[in-house]
Structure formats: structure tokens, C-alpha cells
Structure 1
């Protein structure tokens, strides 16, 4: 029995968002792991002229390739990639689904205010250049095509109804300090997905980039344990 694993990154992101988890699984399993870059995404964004249907189609084509070669499939989706992952899981009756900071709800205002306050303090103290969150999102804001954000929201709205059609075991993981997706999004996902075999885990020290957070080792172990159900 062979296993294929599809990992889908988030909006304005790249495979680097999930790379630590991919490397962990690659070193401990014999799975084929596919991590496509969605159109217009990557280290240098070029989102103008790209639509959410392309993002879904790219992930779907990668899944179809895995289905040709493997008996069992797990999909891991981060942020917007989580919503695409849920859609594909429902459409193809995938065996396992992992949702990381999935963007069913977006923008956690309380945590965002805290992050902004930290950036302001860093600016006054001359330490802003060492604020990893600021550096990461400063680049994204400069490169993000404004109308692409509408495509992101359309992607979430299109994929949301398919949460109710997921039939396989699901692992939902969410950072409590997430400034982009509110932590309560995990609870909404739990309610929307009708299967009995599902687990929600909150990581106390993690922000949005959950695979790079201080709790990442805990995340990795939970995903690997979840996958042992194959």
C-alpha cells in the first residue's frame, strides 16, 4: 500500500510555508509528497491576471497525478490552501485531511492589533528590522495585487460548502496567536465538517505561519500520529 501526500500553501505564499512539515514527513515516511506552487505565487509574487479557479486547478492536477500512483491519499492544506484541500477531499473522497490555520474566517483583529503594537514599539526602539512578522508581510504587501484579495475571498466562499461533504478523518490545527485567521476559525471548521472522526488542536505559541512556529515540533508529531491511521 503506497501513500501520496499533497501539501497546499496559502494565499500570497509559497511551498516554503509548509516546507518544515514536508521535510519532517519526508524523513520519516516513504510517501510521495507533492507541493505545487499556485499560479502567481512563490517567493516573488505575480498575482495580476490570476484567478482562484487556477489555484484550485493547479492543486487538483497535482492530486490527480498522486491518485495515479498511490492507494491512499492525505491532503494537508495551510490557510487558503486548507479550504482548497477540503474541496478536493470532498470531491475525490480522499483518505485523510489536515487543516492548518485554514482560512474559513480571516483577520483576527485582536491579535493583529497586538502584532501592530509590537511593530510600532519596534519602530520606536529601532528594532523593527529584526521583526520577522514585519519583514515577511512588508514584502507581501508591496507585491500583492489588490484585486487578487477578492479572488482569495471568492476562493473561500466557493470552497466553504464542501466542508459539509468531507467524509474522511480530519485533523484541525490552529495557532492561538494567529493574527490572520482567528483561532475560533478552528471551532467553525469543527462544526462545519460533519464527520465524527475529527480532532481540533490549538498551539499556544504559534501565529499564522504554524509550520514555522515555536510549537512546530508538536504539530509535526500530531500530523505523523494522525497519519498512522492509514
Structure 2
């Protein structure tokens, strides 16, 4: 199983899902961190291709050890995952908060947020999670994110393996409509929209559990759990 995190993120974004699955099932895996990413950001001088190539290298490392390839991609990692599935063999694809679109911070007011959405974000304290990292993102790195997403979108109709989309309906960073549109183009996909689910699902206990259960059922339905 290949775990691909998002832009300016790291393993911490998918680690809760990884641990949830690993406690229950035995599987081999790759869990790369893109150059300049992780708990401490250092994105100066890096290009989007550097990030994608790390994901692609991890894919090929995994193919040397396993016969079945499942990819879980979060946000930008979902873009990379779908592109890998267009060009190489993938058995199952899980796309969480797929980042084929993004909301500019300066244009948040255009979303016409309801009071309930604002309350949810205050309750989850999402601003505290995001704001400390923003100062470490140079403008060039943001441009590289936009460029690599455009370069790795490809033709989604080429993704023929089973796919599930998971997206929170109060995602302020990547509108859930991005997953809706992609789902419509992938012939063998299912879409799950999580009510009150933000972009950073890993920091929300209830929504994270919902997502983990969806991933588990999709990947391991009919499989025997490990004896705990």
C-alpha cells in the first residue's frame, strides 16, 4: 500500500489512517515524504516535479515487493495517485480531499460560508492548525503546486481500477466539487461526502473515523483482521 500525503504536509496527514489499518491488517507499504515537506518546511528551490518523482519512486519500490498495489492519496497526494493510476498498474485507489482545485485564501469570502460552517471550523480550531505553516511557504512554492497539479491531472477517464473519493463538505482549501467532477470522469468510482468534514480530517476524531472505516471497507472487505 502506498500512502501519499499532501502539499506542505507530511506523514502526519495519513499516519492516523495508516495506524488504524496496520493494527488490523498485515500489508507492505511505502510512505514517502516529498523533498522540503514534513514537520519542518523547507521549500525554497524545490519544484513540483521533485515532489511527484518522490511519489513515483515509492510506487516502483513497492512494486518490487508486492503483487497488488493500493494507493491512498490525500490532497496533492491524490493528484499524484490518480496520475500514477493513469500510467501504471494500480489495483485500488483511495482519493481523500483530492486537490484538483484549491481556494485562494484571499477569496474565501466568495464561498458565502454559512454560520454553521464557520462554527464547525471554530470548533475544530482549524486556523490554529494551518496558520503557523503559512509563513514557511514561499510564493514560488505555491506556484509550483499549481503547476504540478495542472501537469499531473491528465485524462481521468484512463483510471479504470476501483476508486473511492472521500471529501469533507466544509473543506475550505479544496472545494468538494473537485471530487464530484473527478468522480464523474472515472468510470469505476464511488463518492463519499462527509457532512461537517474539513480539509484536515486527520485532526477531527469523528470524521477521521468515518474516513478510516470507508477506507478499510474498500481495501479489506472480506479480509481477515489480525488477532489483536
Normalising by the residue count of structure 1, what TM-score does the alignment of the two structures yield? 0.86
1:37 equivalent in alignment to 2:29: no
The CA RMSD measured in Å over matched residues stands at 2.4
1:59-138 alignment, distance < 5 Å = 59-107=55-103, 109=108, 110=111, 132-138=125-131
Q: Deviations over 1:55-88 (max 9, x none)?
A: 1110111111110010101001000110001011
1:217 equivalent in alignment to 2:218: no
Q: Deviations over 1:129-188 (max 9, x none)?
A: x97322222211111111111110111101111422211000000001111011211211
Indicate the residue corresponding to 1:126 in structure 2.
none
CA 1:116/1:138 → structure 2, altered by over 3 Å: closer, same or farther?
farther
1:203 equivalent in alignment to 2:157: no
Query: For the residues of structure 2 that align with 1:184 and 1:26, how far apart are their CA atoms?
Result: 31
Indicate the residue corresponding to 1:139 in structure 2.
132
CA 1:89/1:40 → structure 2, altered by over 3 Å: closer, same or farther?
same
Structure 1 runs of 4+ off > 6 angstroms?
A: 111-118
Matched residue count: 215
CA 1:112/1:63 → structure 2, altered by over 3 Å: closer, same or farther?
farther
Larger mean CA deviation between 207-216 and 18-27 belongs to 207-216
Q: In structure 2, the residue corresponding to 1:180 is in which secondary structure?
A: coil
Q: In structure 2, the residue corresponding to 1:69 is in which secondary structure?
A: coil
1:184-203 alignment, distance < 5 Å = 184-193=177-186, 195=187, 197-203=188-194
Normalising by the residue count of structure 2, what TM-score does the alignment of the two structures yield? 0.87
Quote the offset at 1:112 in angstroms.
Answer: 7.0
Q: Give the one of 40, 44, 49 matched to 1:48.
A: 44
Q: Is the 8 A contact 1:86 1:162 kept in 2?
A: no
Query: For the residues of structure 2 that align with 1:113 and 1:48, how far apart are their CA atoms?
Result: 37
